[in-house]
């Protein structure tokens, strides 16, 4: 099983030794966010499309700010429209509204996608 990135478990997963306050290092087993393309998706069901950016949103908290990119793609065969929303980006995107961006997704489960930002 591929866990991806090893993280400091004491902070991100909550495994600590409270008697000595030591942090241990183990793979974090949290699930990937919804925008990640699942590894179980077979290549024949994966699609690579160019979606059109419809919105670039700036959101903020009291500590920092981030950007979220929204893009749409319509399947020419079915006329079905799909909307994709990026993860939080900590820097202004290099794209503009109306430009095209590559999105990879599972045709059987379009909620499993990855935007190439």
Mean pLDDT score of the chain: 75
pLDDT tens digits along 19-68? 444 444 444 333 344 444 555 545 668 999 999 999 999 999 999 999 99
What is the percent of the chain where pLDDT is above 90?
56
pTM given for the model? 0.62
Residues with Cβ within 8 Å of residue 96, at least 6 apart in sequence:
53, 56
Give the residue extent of every domain in the chain.
Answer: 1-30, 33-115
Please state which CATH class domain 33-115 belongs to. mainly beta
Phi/psi at 3 (5° precision): -90, 0
């Amino acid at each position: 099983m591929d866990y991806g990135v090893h993280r400091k478990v004491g902070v991100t997963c909550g495994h600590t030794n409270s008697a000595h306050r030591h942090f241990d290092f183990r793979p974090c087993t949290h699930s990937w966010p919804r925008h990640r393309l699942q590894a179980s998706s077979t290549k024949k069901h994966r699609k690579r499309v160019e979606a059109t950016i419809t919105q670039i949103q700036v959101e903020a908290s009291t500590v920092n700010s981030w950007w979220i990119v929204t893009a749409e793609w319509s399947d020419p065969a079915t006329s079905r429209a799909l909307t994709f929303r990026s993860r939080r980006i900590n820097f202004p995107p290099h794209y503009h509204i109306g430009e095209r961006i590559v999105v990879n997704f599972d045709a059987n489960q379009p909620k499993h996608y990855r935007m190439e930002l």
